[in-house]
Structure 1
Amino acid sequence: MSQIYTRRFFLGAAVSAFAAVSAMAEPPTASLRPVGRDADLYKQAIPNVSEILADSGIKGHVAFAVVDVDSGIWLEAANANMGIPPASSAKAITALYALDVLGPNHVFETRLIATGDVVDGVVQGDLILAGGGDPTLDSDDLGVMAEKLKTAGITGVKGGFKVYEGDFPRTPAIDPEQPDQVGYNPGLSGIALNYNRVHFEWQRGSNGYDVTMEGRSARYQPAVRIATMEVVDRRGPVYTYEDKAGRDVWTVAKGALGKSGARWLPVRRPGPYAGDVFVTIAKSLDIDLPEAEMIDSLPGGKALIVHTSADLRSILKDMLKYSTNLTAEMVGMAASVARAGPLDSLRASAAEMNRWSVEKLGMENPQMVDHSGLSDDSKMTARDMAGALGRIHGTGLRPILKPVYLRDDRGRPERDNPIKIDAKTGTLNFVSALAGFVTTPEGRVLAFAVLSANPEERAKISREERERPPGARTWNGRAKRVQRGLLERWALLYNVTVVPEPAPVVAPEPETETTSDPASEAVADNAPAPDAELEPEL
């Protein structure tokens, strides 16, 4: 059957109310239905879960759970203990983790430190750029730091210019299984710049292509030396990457470029990238610095310039809005280091967050291997996700979740729909997730998680195909129809308190992963949002 969950249907059908009390200690293993009442014949028009799944045409696994946040009553669940990649919906848990461990007012500091006195404008020692875990640092911020250095009368250094990447584990990519060229999968350390992405732009001229590689921001757009690009006359692959002589060496197929375009490419060496950009900006201000050198420990010295980030709550709100993988990884690592001290890998940091999730959120079996959900090795159950959100309702998470809108019959977002949803989406190839809170028109708040995946189809994708795999967009659309149908069902069926009664299983698995695998990141993509996911509306 086709879905009829429009705003008009809701307003016409939801005049009836339910009044009763129920308590269940555990989520059910089957979907539940309310006991019949004289005034609830309209419920017959609400499709059950099997009808919603059939209408979507989805293939693979669908797991969900929904709980009343005030009473703790589990209302419906299916496959709720199945571990499924949560994709970027995991960022909601990462946000809770960072808020709890670091606090909403936490700020990150990036410092310029001198190891000697300043004599006649020259630092009598080394100048050190020290990262402090700020995921939002950009070239303009480094420009302001360099400008303040100039204002202080500093023109050079007697020693060297060093870069310290901080205490975070260093890794060349969040998920090594992603294609080389996707900008949402950069390297990580305790320093980041421009979300650890470099801006590649090309323009066809009479003698071939003119290309630039820049650390681009609003004011400063310095050319970089740490990443190079060569246009090669070949059919494919579109991009190649090589770690060569301390540089990110790229090539691109000439036939894929067209007349002109631009896109962000990931940076694998955050520290050298930040050092490279700072030296270029400093020289433009007549501050003479040698080429940057990396150091593994921070010597004593005096902080000459300190750049302070926005507060953590603001950073997390943007992270949840734009689904920025690098931000999730860096705030997650900051929280793990604060809890456990320096760690040797991203997986070790994620394991610390798993332990916290058990201790503080009551989760039973979180299996995250990162903080962004980019890797499909990360697993979570719908029960754990929905239960955690239900327990923390009333804390600082919900106000920073982005609104998610249902769509009308023409596909337009219904911003005035009486069903209100605050949630985190998640999208990988053949993986789709949505977790958060739905408020019914009569004000009942439900916490929910819907996790869908088709691991068989995902396993067929080669690494080179992961940017635009065949069939992934269609499958994702089907998964969103499931999410939409379930949310509309719950908002109608559980608009006010109901009396649930066990029923036969009605949500069997159908026959048979942007922080994300956004299919929209084409060769010419130059979107301002770092990892904005596809289709935030349902």
Structure 2
Amino acid sequence: MGRTSKALTGGLLICALAAVSVPVGLQVVPAFLPQDPAAVAVLPAAQAAPTSLGEISGVGPLDSTAPLPDADKLSAGLDKALMFDGEGTFSMYVADALTGEELFSQDGQAARTPASNLKLLTAGAALRTLGTDARFSTEAVAGSSPNEIVLVAGGDSLLTAGAGADDSAMGHAGLATLAGQTAKSLAGAGAKGPVTLTIDDSLFTGPALNPKWADGDVDAGEIAPIYPMALYAGRFAPEVLTGPRPQDSAVAVAEAFAQALEDAGVATTGAITRGKAPAAGGDAAGGADASQTGAAQSGTAKSGSVQPGAVLGSVESATVAEQTQYMLSESDNYVAEVLGRMVAVKMGKAASNSGAVAAVRQVAGELGMPMDSIVTTDNSGLAAGNLISPQQLVKMLSLMLADPAADIGQALPGLPVAGLTGSLEHRFVTAPALDGAGLVRAKTGSLNLVTSLSGYVVNSEGRLLVFSILGNGLTGGAIAARPVLDAAAGVLALS
């Protein structure tokens, strides 16, 4: 692995520690709180366990003169941690973030199945191509037929049926908000209902399901058919994380929008159909210009009607940076696949499964990833056939860490913190992995026979270490092997 081209600045340590500076409430630190209510009741207030994470102040830059871990001690500790009684193999690669120097490798150059660690490539491609501040619009457009409203999908997979919430990635844009805007526009134009609904989801092409996804994973709700708009990342409700999902997320959005219109006083009628939204002025097009929002009230429409193509309402998603961070923190397959397709749209490629994979691969290569030896068949890591080495995942993370303030560096706040947040919330809570709690920040991954963990940690000497561990062939299942990964990461924290 080559040396990085620049030294890390103070922002790097801030990035490495920022996740533990945001108050997150009691539920995220169960391992650190007393379990006996009676014991809590008699504790003086000054000795009570914290109910939120403390603020960081006075954080300075990493010390470039901090010593590297002792090679023999590190190898001995990691060799022991990576011992496993069950069937399967573990490959691991560790490097110093500042210099790129290899510190440990156990088959670190060998291509393995990464599971959701593949999302690191998707995150980098989305941030670089789409831009950190980009947002996706969902619009209600006047159709070509009288009283027709076309719901135009723009790539937001995190819609909510209710009002939008500005402080949340999930549900930043709300269909109740969109319905309220639409009702106001219709009333301003003197349009009389009831209205019919048409879906324009032509932004994506090709099969909605990747043929590389196992039927069992689809049936279990690990993924769902991919559409350019969805409620709750393709779920029936945000809290329902397993089991069946909507098989047509665009229809699910349209049905929720129809109910929101009814609640806003706009009657709907007829079946929901698919079609193309007309351009402003009435010509058929793939969508409408968001700058036309409110055109129904601009005086260009005849009394009692709305000009075809006029945007009646528009809501915007969370930023791409916020969506990417959500995707990494929650390891959300649906969001990853939608972001991959949006990269393809931006690059002028077909927004299909294959087009999205090709687009992400191209951007990852342009970022400096050696793609010739990397095999990808989807953008979430769920599909069969994905292959990448721990060393290559360390390379991706090192590119992000080289400048945390840059576009791809905005992925880093989405990496879960050991024992505290996201998909690591309930891990690193017992010895020996407890040594890494609150210190290790990493992307998780799990398939039936695969478990993975790739991230970084500032060790006991103040040195920033980047690592990737991929466990494959785990016939006893991924969950049984997770303690091996966590213990190895804990060794790095103490090194």
TM-score range, shorter chain: 0.5 to 0.7
Aligned length: 374
State the distance in 1 between where 2:259 and 2:222 align. 25
What is the SS of the residue equivalent to 1:57?
coil
User: CA separation in 2, counterparts of 1:407 and 1:281?
Assistant: 43
Asked whether 1:390 is paired with 2:392, we answer no
Aligned residue identity for 1:151:
K
Q: Which amino acid in structure 1 is aligned with residue 130 of structure 2?
A: L
Spell out, residue by residue over 1:418-437, the C-alpha distance to the aligned partner (whole angstroms, 9 max, x if none): xx211110011120010111
- 1:339-354 map, 5 Å: 339-343=347-351, 345-354=352-361
Structure 2 residue aligned with 1:327, among 335, 341, 362? 335
SS in 2 for 1:398: helix
1:148 has 2:170 as partner: no
What one-letter code is carried by the residue in structure 2 that aligns with 1:148? Q
The whole-number CA distance in structure 2 between the counterparts of 1:371 and 1:184 is: 14
**Contact 2:111/2:388 (CA < 8 Å) preserved in 1?**
yes
Over 3 Å counting, the alpha-carbon distance change for 1:176 and 1:169 in structure 2 is farther
CA distance in 2, matches of 1:442, 1:20: 6
Aligned pair partner of 1:287 in 256, 259, 266: 266
The DSSP-based 3-state class of the residue aligned with 2:490 is: helix
- 2:157 pairs with 1:135: yes
Task: Tell me the equivalent position of 2:441.
Answer: 422
Instruction: Specify the SS of the correspondent of 2:222.
Output: coil
Q: 1:90 Cα deviation (Å)? A: 1.6
Which of the pair is proportionally richer in strand? 1
CA gap of 1:180–1:488, structure 2 versus 1, over 3 A, is: closer
2:112 paired residue among 73, 84, 93: 84
Post-superposition offset of 1:347: 2.8
- Residue aligned with 2:345, SS: helix
Counterpart residue number, 2:40: none
TM-score (norm 2): 0.68
Find the partner of 1:187 among 198, 209, 225: 225
Measured against aligned partners, the alpha-carbon deviations of 1:140-176 in whole angstroms (never above 9, x if no partner) come to 2122211222233446568842101142235343524
CA distance in 2, matches of 1:262, 1:96: 25
Provide closer, same or farther for how the CA distance between residues 144 and 170 of structure 1 changes in structure 2, counting only shifts above 3 A: farther
1:496-511 paired onto structure 2 within 5 Å: none
Matched, 1:164 2:196: no
Match of 1:124 in 2: 146
> Contact 2:82 / 2:485 at 8 angstroms: preserved in 1?
no
> What TM-score results when the alignment is normalised by the length of structure 1?
0.63
Q: Secondary structure at the match of 2:365?
A: helix
Normalized per residue, the structure richer in helix is: 2
Letter of the 1:368 counterpart = T
2:261 paired with 1:275: no
SS at match of 1:99: helix
Q: CA 1:297–1:128 in structure 2 vs 1: closer, same or farther (change >3 Å)?
A: closer
Residue 125 of structure 1 and its aligned partner are, at CA, apart by: 5.4
- CA positional deviation for 1:108: 0.6
Alpha-carbon contact 2:176-2:260 (below 8 Å) kept? yes
Question: Is the contact between residue 163 and residue 272 of structure 1 (CA under 8 Å) also seen in structure 2?
Answer: yes
SS state of the match for residue 425, structure 1?
A: strand
What amino acid is the match of 1:60? G
Q: Is this contact kept in 2: 1:91–1:371, CA < 8 A? A: yes
Taking the aligned partners of 1:179 and 1:360, their CA distance within structure 2 comes to 31
Note the alpha carbon deviations across 1:386-411, whole angstroms, 9 max, x for none. Answer: 12212331332323322124736568
* Residue of structure 2 in register with 1:374 after alignment: 382
Deviates more, 1:305-314 or 1:138-147: 138-147
Conserved in 2, the CA contact under 8 Å of 1:135 and 1:331? no
Which of 428, 434, 446 pairs up with 1:407? 428
* Pairing 1:265–2:250 present: no
The alpha-carbon deviation at position 128 of structure 1 amounts to 0.5
Tell whether the 8 Å contact from 1:170 to 1:187 is kept in structure 2 after alignment. Answer: no
Contact 2:93 / 2:391 at 8 angstroms: preserved in 1? yes
> What do residues 116-136 of structure 1 show as CA deviations (whole Å, max 9, x unaligned)?
6xxxxxx83531000000111
- The separation in 2 between residues aligned to 1:275 and 1:186, in whole angstroms, is 17
Instruction: Give a deviation string over 1:5-60, Cα, whole Å, max 9, x none.
Output: xxxxxxxxxxxxx98999xxxxxxxxx9737xxxxxxx49x745443333x32422
Q: Does the Cα contact within 8 Å between 1:165 and 1:191 map onto a contact in 2?
A: yes
What is aligned with 1:438? 457
Which residue of structure 2 lines up, in the alignment, with residue 454 of structure 1? Answer: 473
- Shift of the 156–191 alpha-carbon distance from structure 1 to 2, 3 Å rule, reads farther
Q: Residue 46 of structure 2 aligns with which residue?
A: none
Query: In structure 2, do the counterparts of structure 1 residues 179 and 21 end up closer, same or farther at CA, with 3 Å as the change threshold?
Result: closer
Shift of 1:376: 2.8
Hey, what does 1:490 align to over in structure 2? 492
Residue pair 1:112, 1:130 contacting (<8 A) in 2 also: yes
Counterparts of 1:8-87 in structure 2 under 5 Å?
34=71, 43=73, 47-54=76-83, 56-87=84-115
Residues 491 and 454 of structure 1: CA distance in aligned 2, closer, same or farther (over 3 Å): same
C-alpha distance in 2 between matches for 1:143 and 1:337: 27
- 1:363-389 per-residue CA deviation (whole Å, 9 max, x = no partner) reads 242212111111132221112111221
Give 1:441's aligned amino acid.
Answer: S
Whether the 8 Å CA contact 2:185–2:313 is kept in 1: the answer is no
Identity among equivalent positions (%) equals 21
Unpaired segments ≥5 residues, structure 2: 1-63, 163-173, 279-283, 286-308, 420-426
CA contact (8 A) 2:194 2:266 kept: no
8 Å contact kept, 2:131–2:320:
yes
1:217–1:453 Cα change, 3 Å: closer
After alignment, is 426-435 or 157-166 more displaced?
157-166
**Distance of 1:190 and 1:337 partners within structure 2:** 11
Aligned 8 A contact 2:433 2:487 in 1 = no
Q: Which of 458, 465, 480 is the equivalent residue of 1:477?
A: 480
**Which amino acid letter does the alignment assign opposite residue 357 of structure 2?**
A
